[in-house]
Structure 1
Amino acid sequence: MNLKRIIRHLCTDRWMVRRALPAHAMQAIEAAIGQAEAGHQGQIRFAVETSLDWEALLKDQTARERAIDVFSQLRVWDTAQNNGVLIYLLFADHDVEIVADRGIDRCVGSQGWETICQDMESAFRHKQFEAGVICGIKAVSGHLARHYPGQGDQGNELPDRPVHL
């Protein structure tokens, strides 16, 4: 159990996320997802979670473990071509995780996703949250366009709207 992490999560409030990612930023992120998906057949979701609850903190749940839970809850795995990708931000930790369905994950691999996460986290350290998320979306989209080219003609299987948990 990491006491410093617990305190950070308890002191992080939803208004902090809304200040870092205000309504206009969330709209820009939604538009970026829609624009990105128009160039390939993949699906992208973005979710930001303010902090973990007590139970998760006491179990020392990692951002990765939580991202996998969110991937399932948002049904990102439920795409026809197994090419859904979740970009998850645990705001209290400024930790980004990318969870990808087996089709696209097989093509990109953990190191490819980790590079995108590190770039996003670097932008966040400079308080560039909107720009960091949009750059991450573009990087994920680049992989999807390479491995699932096309005009997204199978329809929008997942909502483009960001989720604030």
Structure 2
Amino acid sequence: MKRIVQNLFSGWFQLYRWFPTERMKAIRDLIAEGERGHAGELCFAVEARYSPFALLAGIHTRARAEQVFSALRVWDTADNSGVLLYLQLAERRVEIIADRGIAAKVPQADWDALCADFAEAMRHGAPDRAVMECLSRINALLTRHFPAAADNPKELPDEPIIL
């Protein structure tokens, strides 16, 4: 019942307050800048809330993030180097999905720590700041574990996605 109330009455009106056009441009620029230093392809997707039908079907954040990862074709890179940062606003949940090329080099514990830190940052501030901090840390992780080669192709768009 709590999830239904959260998704019916929160999230949707906060989306454009927390993520106005200028903030989305800053997120896009942060992704583009970070990708110059690593061979990963980083995507950010934010979803205001789940539909009542999705909630009744039992959707959970991890499963939804995996759906988004697939739908946005984050997996469709030459080196399997896609990473999705997915934020669901109504429930204030975050998931990071790393493709197998990245997952082979970056331990799952690092992703789990990033998600825990993101959740803590959300408790103490606005989601837009938490997203920017998390993206910076993901870029740093990828630069350390998956540095850019001389020919670093741009395989996915940098624009944040609103679902």
The CA deviation at 1:106 is: 2.0
More helix by share: 1
TM-score by length of 2: 0.94
Match of 2:53 in 1: 55
CA distance in 2, matches of 1:105, 1:4: 33
Partner of 2:156: 158
Question: Which position in structure 1 is the counterpart of 2:31?
Answer: 33
1:138 to 136, 139, 149: 136
5+ residue gaps, structure 1: none
Shift of 1:74: 0.3
Pairwise mapping of residues 14-163 of structure 1 onto structure 2 (< 5 A)? 14-150=12-148, 153-163=151-161
Identity %: 42
Unaligned 5+ residue runs, structure 2? none
Describe the superposition over 1:78-126 as per-residue Cα deviations: whole angstroms up to 9, x where unpaired: 0111110000001111111000100111222322111111111222112
CA distance in structure 1 between the aligned counterparts of 2:18 and 2:150, rounded to whole angstroms: 30
TM-score, normalized by length of structure 1? 0.92
- 1:58-95: per-residue Cα shift (whole Å, max 9, x none)? 12211000000000000000011111000000111111
Quote how far apart the aligned CAs of 1:151 are: 5.5
Q: Deviations over 1:8-54 (max 9, x none)?
A: 10112533111112111111110100000011111000000011112
Q: How many residues align?
A: 163
